[in-house]
Amino acid sequence: MESESNKILNAFTQSEYKYGFITDIETDMAPEGLNEDIIRFISEKKQEPAFLLEFRLKSYRYWLTMKEPKWANIHYPKIDFQDIIYYAAPGKKKIPGSLDEVDPELLDTFNKLGISLNEQKKLTGVAVDAVMDSVSVKTTFSETLLKLGIIFCSFSEAVKNHPDLIKQYMGTVVPYTDNYFATLNSAVFTDGSFCYIPKGVRCPVELSTYFRINAANTGQFERTLIIAEEGAYVSYMEGCTAPQRDTNQLHAAIVEIIALKDAEVKYATVQNWYPGNKKGEGGIYNFVTKRGICKGNNSRISWTQVETGSAITWKYPSCILLGDNSVGEFYSVAVANNFQQADTGTKMQHLGKNTRSTIISKGISGGNGNNSYRGLVRIAKNAVNSRNYSQCDSLLLGNKCGAHTFPYIQVENKSSIVEHEATTSKISEDQLFYCQQRGIDMESAIGLIVNGYAKEVLNKLPMEFAMEAQKLLSVSLEGSVG
């Protein structure tokens, strides 16, 4: 069985990245490097109001005083922040009104990825805000949503049309001083998504955005802001696949979620940036700051993520449970194959009374990959009767990979209960034997077991995503058993 599985392991680790292709579109770029002039250039290009330029400059000046964090369990060559192009927009300057106006080559790219805007619009009822190289190209369903008062548009449009909301909420959950990469993002962010659900409105469709990194050597710095007013509900999905590149690309995004009284926000991600080749060359560096605040009583924020891509993932979607009875959830499947490194987890800050949080994290390591769960559960003194349950499992699929768990638990009152469990083990030989004995080949058996292992999390994804995620998981991992 040993050699058999090795063969399969080799077959899969040698398979090339399926989504690696480059779209040849003319882009409008800023010169390489980072200084105040570049920031002014970005701001001017985007015709931003003065307060935003101020915010950017303030962030940049603060960033200059900061040091790159070294605490994560990841290793990478030093990033030269002067060797990055901070702004690249697709050549088309006009925002298309309908699909016909969209560059056919761009549409073709999405078709290769299996997402036809057309089809999605007609058949699935999903409004897709496609972000290609930092500028939103196409927003569908906006008009339908507008009738309900829902604002779902690119961040730049929101800056133009709803500057008050931006001014009121931007930087309130992730302040510009938060961390090295968030501060960098605050200085140079180019675009992203904006979503506002008014009071009492239940968003009838799953909102979805696709981010793609396209032009070579351009870091991408999105910023997403989701605001759910009192009693509102929204399910938001974000997914990404990136073309194959030889040099490393930096991705430092920010996602901020604000849930007011009785509101509920579900945020799901499937992340499949280019992970680098089997020698560990290339791949995306993904340093993301995602944080939500349950500001009002009885509010609820749920993060679901499937992380299969990126050479480096540094990402901790977190919840600040400020409102009484608020609920935070985190469901994650993270895969590290070949030379991928993932350091991911969550922070649950319990501040309000009777707050509850659940953490389910499933790490899968194969090849030379390293997967770390790093999480904090903090129950503050006033968060009486709070409850947390965490479960972090790791599955090891080879003898050169690593799986690590770094939970931090802080409890400061007597009425709360915090439970944490974690297990690490290799894929069960008994289960493999059982499947094979029944005529299921090795490869399918592993797919079956891994999918079963991750089921708890995949179940939390919206239907369309669940299918994609399952496929992705199989592609990333099939058979990589030692």
Partner 1 sequence: MKEIKTDTKEIISKERMIGLFEKNREGLFMTDSEFMSRIRKDAMERFRELGFPTTKLEEWKNTDLKASLEKGYGYYLHPVIDVDVQKVFHCNIPHLDTAIIAQLNGWYVSKDVPLMELGNGMILGSLAEAFKEYPRIIEKYYGKYADFTSSGLTALNTAFAQDGIFIYVPDNVSSQKTIQMVNVIHHPESIFLQSRNLIILGKNSRISLVHCDDSYNQQASFANIVTEVFIGENASLDHYKLQNMNNDSTLISSVYFNLEQAANLESHFISFNGGLLRNNTRILFNGKGGTANVRGLYLMDRKQHIDNHVFVDHANPECTSSELFKGILDENASGVFNGHVLVRRNAQKTNAYQGNKNILLTDTARVNSKPFLEIYADDVKCSHGSATGQLDSEAMFYLRQRGISEENARMLLMYAFANEVISKISIEPLRLRIEDMVKKRLRGELSVCEHCVLHCNTPERPLEFDIDVTKI
Q: Rank residues 107 and 401 by Cβ distance to partner 1 and give the closer one.
A: 401
Answer yes or no: are the C-beta atoms of 370 and 404 closer than 8 Å: yes
Residue choice 7, 202, 400, 471 for contact with partner 1 (CB under 8 A): 400
Between the two ends of the chain, the Cα-to-Cα distance in Å is 9
DSSP string, 262-288: T-EEEEEEEEE-----TTS-S-EEEEE
Distance in Å, CB of 388 to partner 1, minimum: 9
State how far the Cα of 205 lies from the Cα of 203, in Å rounded to an integer.
Answer: 6
State how far the Cα of 227 lies from the Cα of 242, in Å rounded to an integer.
Answer: 28
Distance in Å, CB of 353 to partner 1, minimum: 12
Q: Rank residues 260 and 351 by Cβ distance to partner 1 and give the closer one.
A: 351
Q: Rank residues 37 and 429 by Cβ distance to partner 1 and give the closer one.
A: 429
| 406 contacts partner 1 (rule: CB under 8 A) | yes
| 397 contacts partner 1 (rule: CB under 8 A) | yes
Planar angle of CA 297, 209, 110, nearest 5 degrees: 165
Q: Binding string, 60-79, against partner 1, x = CB under 8 A? A: -----------x-x------
Distance in Å, CB of 383 to partner 1, minimum: 10
Binding-site size, partner 1 (CB under 8 A) = 37
Q: Rank residues 142 and 413 by Cβ distance to partner 1 and give the closer one.
A: 413
Distance in Å, CB of 345 to partner 1, minimum: 12
Q: b/e map of 191-214 (b: 16 or more CB within 10 Å)?
A: bbbbbbbeeebebebbbbbbbbbb
Residue choice 136, 209, 338, 394 for contact with partner 1 (CB under 8 A): 394
Candidates 180-188, 298-306, 404-412, 435-443; binding stretch for partner 1 (CB under 8 A): 404-412
Planar angle of CA 132, 98, 220, nearest 5 degrees: 10
Candidates 3-11, 18-26, 211-219, 401-409; binding stretch for partner 1 (CB under 8 A): 401-409
Q: Rank residues 154 and 357 by Cβ distance to partner 1 and give the closer one.
A: 357
Q: Rank residues 247 and 428 by Cβ distance to partner 1 and give the closer one.
A: 428
Distance in Å, CB of 360 to partner 1, minimum: 15
Residue choice 323, 402, 447, 479 for contact with partner 1 (CB under 8 A): 402
State how far the Cα of 343 lies from the Cα of 365, in Å rounded to an integer.
Answer: 12
- Percent helix, percent strand, percent coil in the chain, to nearest 5: 25, 35, 40
State how far the Cα of 271 lies from the Cα of 287, in Å rounded to an integer.
Answer: 12
162, exposed or middle or buried, with CB in 10 Å at 0-12, 13-18, 19+?
A: middle
Q: Rank residues 158 and 364 by Cβ distance to partner 1 and give the closer one.
A: 364
| 117 contacts partner 1 (rule: CB under 8 A) | no
| 361 contacts partner 1 (rule: CB under 8 A) | no
Phi, psi of 417 (to 5 degrees): -125, 130
Half-sphere exposure of 140 (CA within 13 A, CB side): 24
Distance in Å, CB of 405 to partner 1, minimum: 4
The alpha helices in 333-462, defined as continuous H runs, are 429-437, 442-458
Residues 408-427 that bind partner 1 (CB under 8 A): 408-426
Q: Binding string, 367-386, against partner 1, x = CB under 8 A? A: --------------x--x--
Instruction: By CB under 8 A, name the binding residues for partner 1.
Output: 71, 73, 381, 384, 394, 396-426, 482
